[in-house]
Structure 1
Amino acid sequence: MSEGVLVLLSVAALEALLSGDNAMVLAVMVRPLPPALRRKALLYGVLGAYLLRGLALLFAVYLVQLWWVQVLGGLYLLYLMRQHFRDQGAKAPPRAQAHGFWRVVLLLNLVDLAFAVDSILAVVAFSQEFLWVFLGVALGVLFIRLLAGSVVAWMEGHPGLERVAYALVGWAGFKLLLEGENALAHLLHRADLAFHLPKPLFWVGTLLILVGGGFLALRRHA
């Protein structure tokens, strides 16, 4: 197997792992759309992700300066979680219609770019072969989008999982917010003000939300 193919497969796996939490976030964001528009929104999200990830790879040196993208993405995800749990027990909001479609697509790409800041820096450090790295990133993004569609269908059949999804959305938002603050602190040369969420702690929290919350949701559904 050639070195290029190994880089391709490794980067694709790395991108999928680093963005694994992205699938449930995307599922939550497209779920208010009518079923016919969800797949279309994810398709436009894929196209936007390829464009943004390609530009991010070309300008990876400057990517860390996009701290405000991470902060905005994190705040938006925390807002989504707050809105969902605040509205629990209230009348279910109506599905978003076609006029809200482009708003969802725009937000998909904003949040995807926020996640990209973390993952792109990692894959660029992994290899300097731009073509193979980009193809690997493209495969990873495609996997996440396909997984998001399956997550939406799973949530439709098991309504209790929606709370788990929004809890994970809030956790991911908290992570992005801290990463944005951390990047800003380093740009200002104030490392003493930097707050960092260790990767092991983030993944432990993610697993606890998915496994514990999923078990309770499925148990209640049963």
Structure 2
Amino acid sequence: MEFFTMLDWSVIAQIILIDILLGGDNAVVIALACRNLHPNQRRKGILWGTAGAIILRVVLVAFAVTLLQIPFLKFVGALALLWIGYKLMVDTGGEEGHDLQAPDKLFAAIKTIIIADIVMSLDNVLAIAGAAGQVDDQAHQLGYIVFGLLVSVPLIIGGSRIVLYLIDRFPIIVTAGAGLLGWIAGGMMLSDPGVIKYFGAGVEAYSLVAGAVGAIGVMALGEIVKRSGKKA
């Protein structure tokens, strides 16, 4: 009990709030990646995917400032996110694939969740690190980050379950989720230090346009590929 009384709960509350506000897209990715798993595997996919993403997010906090200054790292990450959005949209699984419980399919879902979370969390971890930076003792800052993220895990898992429930009933959400990843990727590209250095700081003003192009592009290409696959 003494441990809990020593904690600065205002800092922890900020970290949890940041993770909830900025982590909504993570719940969408988890749901999209796990939607084609057998119902018995969905829980494993959500739990292991979330656990891996949270652990790597903690590691990212320590290097976030340095990583974000590497030219074209965010640009490459954005390209990866576009690819993930496209693959999640066109990978409909089908009835036969849905009933399989192959371990490699579960591993693929977990891998997708972790990769997408790493890419999307580069900016998020800076906000989390900033909240933890209010603690004077630097040795305890990482502890606050870990504790705050762990508390938010049930919220992320709960959010992904809700999205999965909705996807089963409204498949159009898959297209919307892929579009969300395209939107995030488009904005990331124009906030990359290498892109800003090459085109100038004014390029960031077109982030909304880039996001819209990314979202429409992913959804349109995914829809075209899905329809051509059905015709074939």
Fold conserved (TM > 0.5)? Answer: yes
Deviation string for 1:75-120 (max 9, x for gaps)? 3213433x26xx7xxx756225332111111111001111211211
Q: Distance in 1 between matches of 2:53 and 2:154?
A: 9
Q: Letter of the aligned partner of 2:9 in structure 1? A: V
Match of 1:133 in 2: 145
For 1:187 and 1:92, the matched residues in 2 are separated by 49
In structure 2, relative to structure 1, the CA distance for the partners of 1:116 and 1:192 (3 Å cut) is same
How many residues align? The count is 193
**Is residue 50–residue 113 contact of structure 2 (8 Å, CA) maintained in 1?**
no
* Structure of larger gyration radius: 2
Give the Å deviation of 1:59. 0.9
Distance 1:137 1:59, change over 3 A: same
Contact 1:12 1:140 in 2 (8 A): yes
User: 2:67 & 2:158 partners in 1: Cα distance?
Assistant: 26
**Runs of 4 or more off by more than 6 Å in structure 1?**
none
CA shift in 2, pair 1:136/1:189, >3 Å:
farther
Distance of 2:180 and 2:190 partners within structure 1: 16
Quote the Cα distance in structure 2 between the aligned partners of 1:78 and 1:178: 17
Tell me, in whole angstroms, the C-alpha distance in 2 between the residues paired with 1:173 and 1:142.
Answer: 26
Query: Superposition pairs for residues 90-105 of structure 1, below 5 Å?
Result: 94-95=97-98, 97-105=102-110
Structure 1 segment 192-211 matched on structure 2, within 5 A: 192-194=202-204, 195-197=206-208
For 1:191, which of 194, 201, 207 is the aligned residue? 201
Which ranges in structure 1 are unaligned for 5 or more consecutive residues?
A: 206-222
What is the TM-score of this pair, normalised by structure 1? 0.73
Match of 2:167 in 1: 155
1:34 pairs with 34, 38, 46, which one?
Answer: 38
Please tell me whether the aligned partners of residues 15 and 141 of structure 1 are also in contact (alpha carbons under 8 angstroms): no
Query: Counterpart of 2:151 in structure 1: which amino acid?
Result: L
